[in-house]
Structure 1
Amino acid sequence: MTEQTSADQQERVIAEGVDEEPVENNRRLFSGNAYYVVAFLSAFYAFFHVAALNGLSISEWTGIDIPFLPRFPMETWNFRIVHIAGALILGFTLYSARSFVADGEGKKSPALDLLAWAAMLPALYAIWTVFGIANQIASGVQWNGMSPEFKNTEIYHFGLPLLVATTVGIITGWLRGRERGQVSVPDVLLSICGVAVAFYLITIYDTLMRNSTGTPFAPIGISLAAVVGTVLIMELTRRVAGLALIIISAVFLVYVFTGDLLPGFLNAPNIEWTRFFSQVYTDAGILGPTTAVSSTYIILFIVFAAFLQASKVGDYFVNFAFAAAGKSRGGPAKVAIFASGLMGMINGTSAGNVVATGSLTIPLMKKVGYPKRTAGAVEAAASTGGQIMPPIMGAGAFIMAEITGIPYTDIAIAAIIPATLYFVSIYFMVDFEAAKLGMRGMRADELPKLGQMMRQIFLFIPIIILIYALFMGYSVIRAGTLATVAAAVVSWLTPARMGVRSTVKAFEIAGIMSIQIIAVCACAGIIVGVISLTGVGARFSSVLLGLAEANQFIALFFAMCISILLGMGMPTTAAYAVAASVVAPGLVQLGIPQLTAHFFVFYFAVVSAITPPVALASYAAAGISGANPMETSVASFKIGISAFIVPFMFFYNGAILMDGTWLEIIRAGATAIFGVFLLSSGMQGWFAGARVAWFMRLGLVIGALCMIAGGLVTDLIGVAIAGALFVVQYKFHPAPDSQISVKGSD
């Protein structure tokens, strides 16, 4: 009996470890004492943020005044500087400059290591110089940054040594052999350089010189520290997020110094490098909205996600989805929609969500009959939708709240109907695909038992507490903290009980998970700084205004294309941050409400992850499914087609964003859902339980667009078209399109 039960259990699909972070091919894997040191640094980094955000102080707890521990609440800019410096230290420690070879080892490079060791001397000398400057300031010396003596000190004793050390660290890091389990000397050097930048900005820049940034009176040391800081941020971003964002950042940086040579609206004033870099490491750039959000809301919710991972809630989400939807036709695809929406809401990255849940759902979709490109496309589209699923909405929504000043709860409420439309549309698309291919669902003996899943439904409590706390008026930080504590408490009711060790492990995981998003936000801050300092955003707005004079729809279409282009190959957070700086102000000047304008940009920044030719989520899914990446991206674009229409829907009908009376909102939601149903039918060629002819598909799309427009007259026209098409299909059964077998194409 026991053997039979065990065999039965092995046949069932049981999700385990779906929310574990994948190990990148350039991530170091430490063991022994090195592991404990790095684990402590990661856990301390994450806990430091939770403590700072909640105003906790170890000195207050213990009654012991420990001088080197920070006092909370920290000054805002200093907190952000420390936030970035910590990410640099962790990032360079954990991520190699290049991917590791197959066996995880590479040839050692003693000569390069020796060069890196030698370069530590100028880096440490730069830190020593800052100590000296700080002591002079403390003794009453007026450090104004203008006298030749002070300039020479900052250039030759701080700036140049730091630039030399950083250059050597980056180059030797690129050239050096790779040992996956060992600390790299060049990367230790880069970490020291990051500390030097932070130390200067906190001790010198913070005490006297903040008001002088961007003026001729700014000390040269600020500009030199910012140059090094910018280079370090870009190098770390390259390691953790690829080249796309780096290339775009480099283009914007080149634009700063060549804009005066360009014609038309791209023409910009000539900006001295010292002026630009003295201001880019302020709240006008790197320390601006993107870092403000990554240092508060984002890292807090990363800690929340890590606690959910430690308490195995992610596994439960997927198992619950299988138990609830696995038996319907094409069940694994519908599971992917549900599970990926939940997981993507929490983990904040489309491609990461694809890898996490897709490793289980994509093979099962192929097993029940979906072509491999379709299996990957469904997962990519569903995972991308998690970024627009309230209440967490990935990380971009936090940046929206920071930029617009609109309360986060208002943004989450406004997202309900658009997110519903997106996922309902994907559901219809996969259901009709399953119907066309005659797919079955999974057998009951292949799935987790629904009754058992229902007995563990208390695992949703952390999400419920988060939502309740937000709408009871608690701050986002307090709500996130309560939800995190709830995740730990709920785990005590499961076999995965969180004790001291697993709590520390959760903080360690959070520290590692945060590196990519922090680097991306800081790098996006560089672009935001260029846009604000050159004024190109305002000139782009004038172009949109000119287009709108001819046709407002053309202006919106142009804004859509720019948002998608800026987002291609970039994580959602960076894509939205850049598009919000370039496109959204122009839409607001067109008279579009601020929330609508930013949601318009946000949606297209999100769906850039499934838009060919550069679709990160689709490429990640293709890697799992074994399909052609470009075919997968085209298929995911088709499955997520409603996401390209929804922004136009809430532009023409504000009730979609909960702006209106309850009657208007309900009617807008209901007619829009019927519209995406018709759109999905037209796209898939399936209506009234059968395949349809080409003219029927065209009619369905036209009817869908009428329903989506939002007006009473257009709604009635859409219903009439749908009714007429149903009668034609039911009575006359027109011959469907001759279609090549999708299975054969794969």
Structure 2
Amino acid sequence: MNNSPDTRPGASEEAVDKTPETIAKGVDEEVIESNRRLFSGWQWLLFGAMAIAYSSFHLISLNVYPMETWSFRIVHICGALILGYALYTGARFSESHAISPIGRWLSIASYALMLPALYALFQVFQINRAMNEGALRIDAAIETWHFGYPLIFATAAAIVISWFHRHSRERLCPADLVLMISAIASAGYLIIMFSSPMRASTGTAFAPIGISWAAIAGSLLILELTRRVTGLALVVISTIFLIYVFVGPYLPGFLGYPGLSLNRFFSQVYTDAGILGPTTAVSSTYIILFIIFAAFLQASKVGDYFVNFAFAAAGRARGGPAKVSIFASGLMGMINGTSAGNVVSTGSLTIPLMKKVGYPARSAGAIEAAASTGGQIMPPIMGAGAFIMAEITGIPYTEIAVAALIPAILYFASVYFMVDFEAARKGMRGMRKDEIPLFSKLVKQVYLFTPIIILIAALFMGYSVIRAGTLATASAAVVSWFSPNKMGIAAILTALRLAGTMSIQIIAVCACAGLIVGVISLTGVGARFSSLLLGLAGVSQLLALIFAMCISILLGMGMPTTAAYAVAASVVAPGLINIGIQPLVAHFFVFYFAVVSAITPPVALASYAAAGISGANAMQTSVTSFKIGLAAFIVPFMFFYSPAMLMEGTWMQILRVGVTATLGIVLLSATVQAWFFGPVKAWMRLVMLTGAMFMIYGGIYTDIAGLAIGGGLFMLQRSSHGGGTKPVASG
């Protein structure tokens, strides 16, 4: 493409004619993971129908025919396990369709394991019949020998075989079929027992031993699926917590506790004290509903429109693609429940364009990672974090969404000015007019934002989250009829299938996080951690907050946002509340650091995903994204020192803190990038950092001092650099 301007008569009209209708295509395409099977023929129809049925089950149960709570959550997890083992392999795919001799023996072993798995499932029907005929409980020997042992043996052996049994991408591994049967057997038994008076015996010596066997099998299935869809990080942490249950009584100091027997622990961990607790409560209602909503938006190509709209609005600014990344990733990440997933969906377009206008590969990846992570703190959806916070704290969802507004503005302001100052310092241009879509054309389709507007309006009008989410989903289908991508029956079924597939990862993560939450609540380790924080607070509250920050980041490393927050909220938040911090402030503090663990070295999932696209070194990218998202490491401390940041206080207090903190963030960005209205010398950076900290702190006197410093630097820079001219290449 010729970069020189065309001065011929009528050239401007030609340029308009050549302006692309869109620049972003494929943002809404389904992401196929490297370990995901690609079925065809009858298998594609079967598992596609199962995914559609799974999504439809939730819509019907949440809106029309509600189920008993525990049974509903068990079915919710069981469905995700069945779909997960059908779609995700436990080992690498084989490039050859031929089966090796070892593979043949593993197939034979897998088919043999179907016998104990089917026998355990048969015993579930037998137990159900006995209970219906008036039996109060089943003999422990029968439950152990005819249900527990066959189920555990089949589950454990099939998991091990699945690690080594390599198949082609189009085939279902027989070991995974065994795991699907085990999931049904485990869930079936638990539903039967929890629907009987035996439900009251969980956690006691009188609990049926079968509950423990079903819970052990269910826990193994959850851990293995989590490994397949998110990697080892969460599985390793969960395993450490599970080991603690049985070695804790032998540990010294505050880690020691009296101990729990295998039966008492596992009979209770698969209840609302653990796996069926807050994390699964949220994933089975709010999260699954918003995944369906996101799938409807995706099926109607709204994601493409969001990104094109961002290009039209911000593409011509200096460093344009980077600013597009901020807006587009914020919009997409608000709905998407994982920072890394958001990087993959939008970064494949924005990262190459950022490199094209002059950003180094590591900066391009880091900007996308920081922006995608910011989507997780963007109200009203906050990547489902707001719903978990509402469930755990009991604070109304609307209050949480409103409280998140100023912190989100500060975070995105920080990322924006980091990007802008780097673009100015390096003399980068924006995109040319003929490289971006016409805003005047895209604004005619602004009605595509209607589903999100309806969602926000319904929530603040007092509708329940479930009703608001359902209305927004229905409106996404209706609005599509006025767009080029109309949703008919086929597109709606595609959206439901997509939702069923997209939900697997987050449901597995929430169930696994529930396992950790169960360990924390049943062993009391959270209370002992609270006493440790209380002791630190006696020395210094700031020291206690820094310690809480480190633990929250450490617990969140390598984990998706939802799980990271759920675990940190169980361990850290109660301790912060005990040292006198308000529950809303404590949970926002923990939530922010759980989110930014995605860009915190050395384990930064979002940064690593971005580095994979940009081609830069992963560690360099994570360090750069940490620098760009620096505000997110400072803002949580502002919650403690300035509660007005979370809308706690009078409107004048909130306005003052919001404005001065934003100005402080601008100065902080200028300090990091060594550019304000021109180059910034070392001594000026030191003064600038002092002014930034004064305004970020939020006190009335520090605000005045910070404003004075900022105003002085502004005047000095303006006079030194000719009214703010910068070496920016023409766009």
TM-score by length of 1: 0.93
Asked if the contact 2:292/2:473 (under 8 Å) is kept, the reply is yes
1:137 deviates by 1.9
Name the structure 1 match of 2:512. Answer: 523
Query: Residues 394-424 of structure 1, C-alpha deviation per residue, up to 9 Å, x if partnerless?
Result: 0222111100011111100000000000001
Moved more, 630-639 or 694-703: 694-703
Asked if the contact 1:703/1:721 (under 8 Å) is kept, the reply is yes
Q: Aligned partners of 1:120 and 1:702: how far apart in 2?
A: 67
Name the structure 2 match of 1:37. Answer: 46
Q: Evaluate the alpha carbon distance shift between residue 273 and residue 181 of structure 1 in structure 2; reply closer, same or farther with a 3 A threshold.
A: same
Q: Evaluate the alpha carbon distance shift between residue 104 and residue 614 of structure 1 in structure 2; reply closer, same or farther with a 3 A threshold.
A: farther
Q: 1:92 aligns with which of 79, 85, 91?
A: 85
1:499 deviates by 0.5
Asked if the contact 1:340/1:357 (under 8 Å) is kept, the reply is yes
1:348 deviates by 1.3
- Secondary structure of 2:196's match? helix
1:732 deviates by 6.2
- 1:681 and 2:670 are equivalent in the alignment: yes
Q: Evaluate the alpha carbon distance shift between residue 105 and residue 410 of structure 1 in structure 2; reply closer, same or farther with a 3 A threshold.
A: farther
1:142 deviates by 2.5
Q: Which amino acid aligns with 1:344?
A: G
Asked if the contact 1:293/1:398 (under 8 Å) is kept, the reply is yes
Q: 2:438 aligns with which of 421, 438, 449?
A: 449
Q: Which amino acid aligns with 1:124?
A: L
Q: Evaluate the alpha carbon distance shift between residue 93 and residue 709 of structure 1 in structure 2; reply closer, same or farther with a 3 A threshold.
A: same
Asked if the contact 2:19/2:437 (under 8 Å) is kept, the reply is no
Asked if the contact 2:19/2:434 (under 8 Å) is kept, the reply is no
Query: Residues 709-739 of structure 1, C-alpha deviation per residue, up to 9 Å, x if partnerless?
Result: 11110001101112233344455689xxxxx
Q: Which amino acid aligns with 1:291?
A: T
Asked if the contact 1:89/1:194 (under 8 Å) is kept, the reply is yes
Name the structure 2 match of 1:79. Answer: 72
- 1:381 and 2:367 are equivalent in the alignment: no
- 1:437 and 2:426 are equivalent in the alignment: yes
Query: Residues 466-522 of structure 1, C-alpha deviation per residue, up to 9 Å, x if partnerless?
Result: 000000000000000000011000100112100001000000000000000000000
Name the structure 2 match of 1:115. Answer: 109
Q: Aligned partners of 1:434 and 1:102: how far apart in 2?
A: 45
Asked if the contact 1:548/1:555 (under 8 Å) is kept, the reply is yes
Name the structure 2 match of 1:390. Answer: 379
Q: 2:286 aligns with which of 290, 297, 300?
A: 297
Name the structure 1 match of 2:693. Answer: 705
Q: 2:467 aligns with which of 478, 482, 494?
A: 478
Q: Evaluate the alpha carbon distance shift between residue 365 and residue 511 of structure 1 in structure 2; reply closer, same or farther with a 3 A threshold.
A: same
Name the structure 2 match of 1:583. Answer: 572
Q: Evaluate the alpha carbon distance shift between residue 151 and residue 627 of structure 1 in structure 2; reply closer, same or farther with a 3 A threshold.
A: same
Asked if the contact 1:107/1:177 (under 8 Å) is kept, the reply is no
Q: 1:493 aligns with which of 454, 475, 482?
A: 482
- Secondary structure of 1:394's match? helix
- Secondary structure of 1:282's match? coil
Asked if the contact 1:106/1:179 (under 8 Å) is kept, the reply is no
Q: Aligned partners of 1:16 and 1:570: how far apart in 2?
A: 29
- 1:131 and 2:125 are equivalent in the alignment: yes
1:140 deviates by 1.9
1:119 deviates by 1.1
- Secondary structure of 1:456's match? helix
Name the structure 2 match of 1:737. Answer: none
Asked if the contact 2:95/2:168 (under 8 Å) is kept, the reply is no
Q: Aligned partners of 1:395 and 1:102: how far apart in 2?
A: 38
Name the structure 2 match of 1:739. Answer: none
Q: Aligned partners of 1:16 and 1:407: how far apart in 2?
A: 38
- Secondary structure of 1:618's match? helix
1:244 deviates by 0.2
Query: Residues 144-192 of structure 1, C-alpha deviation per residue, up to 9 Å, x if partnerless?
Result: x5xxxx0110000000000111122112211212211112211011000
RMSD: 1.8
Q: 2:640 aligns with which of 637, 641, 651?
A: 651
Q: 1:463 aligns with which of 433, 443, 452?
A: 452
- 1:719 and 2:707 are equivalent in the alignment: yes
Q: Which amino acid aligns with 1:453?
A: L
Asked if the contact 2:294/2:336 (under 8 Å) is kept, the reply is yes
Gaps of at least 5 residues in structure 1 are 56-71, 735-746
Q: Aligned partners of 1:506 and 1:643: how far apart in 2?
A: 34
1:102 deviates by 5.8
Name the structure 1 match of 2:185. Answer: 196
Report the count of equivalent residues: 710
Name the structure 2 match of 1:24. Answer: 33
Q: Aligned partners of 1:129 and 1:378: how far apart in 2?
A: 55
1:5 deviates by 8.6
Q: Aligned partners of 1:315 and 1:249: how far apart in 2?
A: 37
Q: Evaluate the alpha carbon distance shift between residue 106 and residue 392 of structure 1 in structure 2; reply closer, same or farther with a 3 A threshold.
A: farther
Q: Aligned partners of 1:714 and 1:13: how far apart in 2?
A: 48
1:545 deviates by 0.5
Q: 2:156 aligns with which of 156, 159, 167?
A: 167
Moved more, 131-140 or 248-257: 131-140
Q: Aligned partners of 2:491 and 2:394: how far apart in 1?
A: 37
Q: Aligned partners of 1:98 and 1:319: how far apart in 2?
A: 38
Q: 2:346 aligns with which of 332, 353, 357?
A: 357
Q: Aligned partners of 1:115 and 1:367: how far apart in 2?
A: 53
Name the structure 2 match of 1:690. Answer: 678
Asked if the contact 2:335/2:383 (under 8 Å) is kept, the reply is yes
Q: Aligned partners of 1:104 and 1:705: how far apart in 2?
A: 62
1:106 deviates by 7.0
Asked if the contact 1:29/1:181 (under 8 Å) is kept, the reply is yes
Asked if the contact 1:336/1:361 (under 8 Å) is kept, the reply is yes
Q: Aligned partners of 1:450 and 1:723: how far apart in 2?
A: 35
Q: Which amino acid aligns with 1:536?
A: V
Q: 1:52 aligns with which of 61, 76, 79?
A: 61
Name the structure 1 match of 2:5. Answer: none
Q: Evaluate the alpha carbon distance shift between residue 326 and residue 350 of structure 1 in structure 2; reply closer, same or farther with a 3 A threshold.
A: same
Q: Which amino acid aligns with 1:667?
A: R
TM-score by length of 2: 0.95
Q: Aligned partners of 2:702 and 2:15: how far apart in 1?
A: 58
Q: 1:264 aligns with which of 253, 268, 283?
A: 253
Q: Aligned partners of 1:708 and 1:291: how far apart in 2?
A: 37
Name the structure 2 match of 1:61. Answer: none
1:206 deviates by 2.5
Asked if the contact 2:81/2:225 (under 8 Å) is kept, the reply is yes
Query: Residues 294-321 of structure 1, C-alpha deviation per residue, up to 9 Å, x if partnerless?
Result: 0000000000000000111110000000
Q: Evaluate the alpha carbon distance shift between residue 590 and residue 535 of structure 1 in structure 2; reply closer, same or farther with a 3 A threshold.
A: same
Q: Aligned partners of 1:101 and 1:337: how far apart in 2?
A: 39
Q: Aligned partners of 1:5 and 1:240: how far apart in 2?
A: 49
Q: Which amino acid aligns with 1:115?
A: A
1:204 deviates by 2.5
